[in-house]
Amino acid sequence: MFFDFKSMNVVRAYPISFAYIDVLDHVPQPDEIMGRVRLVFQGANGKPGLTSRFVNNVLKAEIPANVPRYLQVTSVKLAPEALNALPDYLKSQPGAAQTWAADLVSEAISTRAAVPIVPYAKGYAVGNVMSMRVSDGTVWELKLPKPDYEIAVEISGFKKLKFNEVQGGATSFIYGAYRPRP
């Protein structure tokens, strides 16, 4: 996220998401966990890691010289069956599942269309002001610009289907969103 420090206005944001999927036939040991964390940052199997993705996003980032245009996911609706298919940690706090969905959609739009996007802040930004805490504990209040284009996310149908199960007990699932027929 880029912001004007003097005015405390968000100028641009280029979100990044990542996933590292692995299946083990045993409870991972601390050194195995750290090895997987290392792969998340360094990359694996020819795919860039979090560090490379961050650097690439910063290299492509542009500060607007003219009148900027802002995109933002402004609303998220998750149907009960979509919520039920999500892991418990996303349902444990109010708004966490909606924020997760908004962040996934924001990152996909930003990455695929190569455009910046204003962070989703429903419930966290009061009066279009978002708090940002840095590592030394300092809290800054950043003003979010009003989006020129608002994006509504609605996941009304969601399926969780068992794909495969191996002898050790590991099961893989396929998740998909669909639109129910009227």
pLDDT in tens, 85-141: 788 888 888 888 998 899 889 888 888 887 778 888 775 455 677 777 778 888 878
The pLDDT confidence band at residue 63, using thresholds 50, 70 and 90, is low
Most confident of 6-10, 68-72, 87-91, 120-124: 87-91
Predicted local distance difference test score (pLDDT) of residue 31: 93
- The C-alpha atoms of residue 131 and residue 10 are separated, in whole angstroms, by 11
- The C-alpha atoms of residue 179 and residue 57 are separated, in whole angstroms, by 33
Predicted local distance difference test score (pLDDT) of residue 8: 67
- pLDDT exceeds 90 at position 55: no
pTM equals 0.62
* Pair 156, 179: CB distance under 8 Å: yes
- The C-alpha atoms of residue 10 and residue 126 are separated, in whole angstroms, by 15
Predicted local distance difference test score (pLDDT) of residue 30: 92
Predicted local distance difference test score (pLDDT) of residue 98: 92
Would you say the C-alpha torsion 35, 15, 139, 65 has a positive or negative sign?
A: positive
- The C-alpha atoms of residue 173 and residue 158 are separated, in whole angstroms, by 13
Rounded to the nearest 5 percent, the helix, strand and coil shares of the chain are 30, 30, 40
The pLDDT confidence band at residue 71, using thresholds 50, 70 and 90, is confident
Q: CA-based angle 152:158:162, to the nearest 5?
A: 150
Would you say the C-alpha torsion 84, 89, 91, 97 has a positive or negative sign?
A: negative
